[in-house]
Structure 1
Amino acid sequence: MLNGGLQKASALLNMRVDKHSPLPCLAPEQTLLDKAEALALPPVIIGMMTAASMQSLGHHIEHREALTVECWVTSGLSNVRRVGDKADDHAVPGTINICLYINQALSDAALAEALILLTESKVTAIRDAEIISPVSGLPASGTGTDSHAVFCPDAEPQHAYCGKHTTLGELIGRVVLQACSISLNHCLRSLTESS
């Protein structure tokens, strides 16, 4: 929601908002900037919002020699959809936010490919959990308001690409799938306990 796209950033904010309280009258970008200022985060900040419980946090990290890939996921499922479902122009709280960190520099093309692998891994986790879209009644692929970010050092790229045949691609798939599965399980358990 704040500073999306290709950016040189110093901080990430995944801001939790209360799904039962209306957001302040400020635009979401200004709300995120105000929170970042209150937290004294250095600019440039990448900002996301979620009404998901922080109890839904899923985290996983893997290392292969000097390469480290780490992922954090928060999940809310009240807004779950299948790609291509009929639009309703009314987003309700319920978001899957994913932050992926790679400790080695990627080319712009590899960053785009990492985002594709992240998304594919999320969809795989949702399908593995057998989550169904309430709109179409078919297997879901995400929510209507998901936000994802991929971070790596700003340096000479060490990876020109990161497809499934590469070690980096393997690690991205493994950490995102595992972190998403943990987060979705927390979320589904919470929904079961509250019903």
Structure 2
Amino acid sequence: MSSVRQVLHPDYLILLPTTPCKVLSSAVLHGGLQKANALLNMRVEKHSPLPCLAPEQTLLNKAEELALPSPTVGMMTAASMKSLGQHIEKRGDLTVECWVTSGLSNVRRVGDKADDKTEPGTINICLHINQALSDSALAEALILLTESKVTAIRDTDIISPVSGLPASGTGTDSHAVFCPDAEPQHHYCGKHTTLGELIGRAVLEACSTSLGHCFRSMTND
């Protein structure tokens, strides 16, 4: 059984861990290294203007509307929640679970020429590890998550419309790694470790599934 309860709605994905968590993320709301009790991935309309409020205030208002426990880490996306890819990897008492939503209207290759235009298409990823990590291991997990995302994108042969070269993500991707806020059991999670293996497998599978949903949706539109 997962140690994170999820609530999936056409307008959002909520993740509720059973214990208070430590989170490292690039999220709009409560990004950075934080303690949190919930994560929110909120969908906004792609072709509609955002409210006049700042994005973090919009997310905070939504978290309060949904009565989510504070603090909540919040992300935004224009991607459909139907693009959700989810995967769990287990080894003994260790469980790694990943959730991905994908939009590709803003796809880029790292180093592409900047145009200072922010499009709403994005790849948002949340990764939960059921055992506590040190701060440095959380950072290493976030690096491995990103490397796994890039690998999934390359495996799918997605091309940047800016450079015409293989893409590595979108211009507005948001990622979060969270684990129990407790005495660390892991201080490393490189690819040579069991935890690193499980992170890589979970993110690759969830990303691949999500990108597949995204491509099918684009084909059907």
Which bracket does the TM-score occupy, shorter chain normalised? over 0.9
1:142 aligns with 2:169: yes
Q: Which residue of 2 aligns with 1:175?
A: 202
Find the aligned partners of 1:185 and 1:42 in 2 and give their Cα distance.
32
Gaps of 5+ in 2: 1-27
Find the aligned partners of 1:27 and 1:91 in 2 and give their Cα distance.
15
Query: What are the residue-to-residue correspondences of 1:1-195 with 2, within 5 Å?
Result: 1-194=28-221
Identity %: 84
Q: TM-score, normalised by structure 2?
A: 0.87
Find the aligned partners of 1:2 and 1:174 in 2 and give their Cα distance.
28
Find the aligned partners of 2:215 and 2:96 in 1 and give their Cα distance.
26
Q: In structure 1, the residue corresponding to 2:159 is in which secondary structure?
A: coil
Which residue identity lines up with residue 68 of structure 1 in the other structure?
T
Find the aligned partners of 1:132 and 1:93 in 2 and give their Cα distance.
18
Q: In structure 1, the residue corresponding to 2:34 is in which secondary structure?
A: coil
Which residue identity lines up with residue 80 of structure 2 in the other structure?
S
Find the aligned partners of 2:101 and 2:126 in 1 and give their Cα distance.
9
Which residue identity lines up with residue 65 of structure 1 in the other structure?
G
Q: In structure 1, the residue corresponding to 2:32 is in which secondary structure?
A: coil
1:7 offset after TM fit, Å?
0.3
Q: How many residues align?
A: 194
Find the aligned partners of 2:30 and 2:86 in 1 and give their Cα distance.
24
Bigger strand share: 2
Q: Which residue of 1 aligns with 2:20?
A: none
1:190 offset after TM fit, Å?
1.1
1:39 offset after TM fit, Å?
0.3
Residue by residue, what CA displacement relative to the aligned partner does 1:53-83 show, whole Å, maximum 9, x if unpaired? 0110000001100000000000000000000
Gaps of 5+ in 1: none
Q: In structure 2, the residue corresponding to 1:7 is in which secondary structure?
A: strand
Find the aligned partners of 1:146 and 1:3 in 2 and give their Cα distance.
16
Which residue identity lines up with residue 126 of structure 1 in the other structure?
I
Structure 1 moving runs of 4+ over 2 Å: none
Find the aligned partners of 2:138 and 2:72 in 1 and give their Cα distance.
18
Bigger helix share: 1
Find the aligned partners of 1:193 and 1:35 in 2 and give their Cα distance.
30
Which residue identity lines up with residue 150 of structure 2 in the other structure?
V
Residue by residue, what CA displacement relative to the aligned partner does 1:79-123 show, whole Å, maximum 9, x if unpaired? 000000000110111000000000000000100000000000000
Find the aligned partners of 1:117 and 1:67 in 2 and give their Cα distance.
17
